[in-house]
Structure 1
Amino acid sequence: MSSPEISSSSPGSSATTVADLYVRHHGWLQGWLQGRLGNRQDAADLAQDTYVRLIGSGRLPPAGQSRAFLTQIAKGLAIDLFRRRQIEAAYLEALACRVDAHAPSPEYRALIIEALMQVDRALDSLPGRVREVFLLSQFDGLTYSAIAARQGIAVATVRKYMFQAAQACCAALA
């Protein structure tokens, strides 16, 4: 496999490629991730994903900022990993509480978890008040009137926020 030719150069320095960054910083990045994640396999996966994300962005760090740049990408990937695991754990817990005890196939579970991740990202992109109203309705089971009273807003506003949240969820799954 040939190395990507994305390069960055600044006055007075030679060009840097992704391959150069990989050779210079991969071991350090994997060690840094392992220290934060406490798991060698996850650290190795996220280190690789960091370089994949770097290549996909088409950008390279300015001279002297390679580790900070790679760390920023890796932190975002670690947050995504933790969030995915929280969603997966919550789904599996809900599944275990089901009376019918029908366990979906691993493939179907993966599809459900991916859909839940998409909905989570959609809800996370909403304004805080809209997200809060949606969560009060869907997870706390509050009526629109109860939500309006708790939030100090009109029932019509609750309806509007619920519509916004539902649109975001539908768009995420489309």
Structure 2
Amino acid sequence: MPGSGKSTLGVLLAKAAALGFVDTDLLIQSQTGSTLQAIVDGEGYQALRRIEEQVLCSLDVTGQVIATGGSAVYSDRAMRHLKQNSIVVFLDISLTAVRQRIGDFSLRGISKRPDQSLEDLFAERYELYTRYADVIIQGEHKSQNQVLEELLKVTAEIQRDLPALHKQPHS
């Protein structure tokens, strides 16, 4: 969700792990010459989702920490691309924390239906976030450093276990 810390923690994780960093919201803005909010206002929320899918599917995810937009999970194609060669992390915070961190969400370029409340959006996305996540990190009531340490530990464990996972027969 917006305000979960994707961009901030993404930069910190990339620095700590000596990886590249990509913020797909910034890529979208750079490629379109528009802010996310301008895209939503001018073309609609589904246009933003289509653009986001194109950007995500064109990324080489190897050696990168990628902070996706919160609506990336609406594209099964994009999520399959990300999961193919990377670890998908869901930074889990409550709706209350989202409200506190983002303030006026109408200015954030959030891809949501015009009639959709933040509560409904949160519930809809939560199910998708948990479906696609390889790792769920509780981000609320923790410092950035605490979340970063947890991210480093969990991703190192998963990377260590990847060769064994690839040798297992698929069902």
Taking structure 1 as the reference length, what is the TM-score of the superposition?
A: 0.22
Bigger fraction of residues in helix: 1
Higher radius of gyration, 1 or 2: 1
Bigger fraction of residues in strand: 2
Greater relative CO (CA pairs within 8 A, separation 6+): 2
Taking structure 2 as the reference length, what is the TM-score of the superposition?
A: 0.23
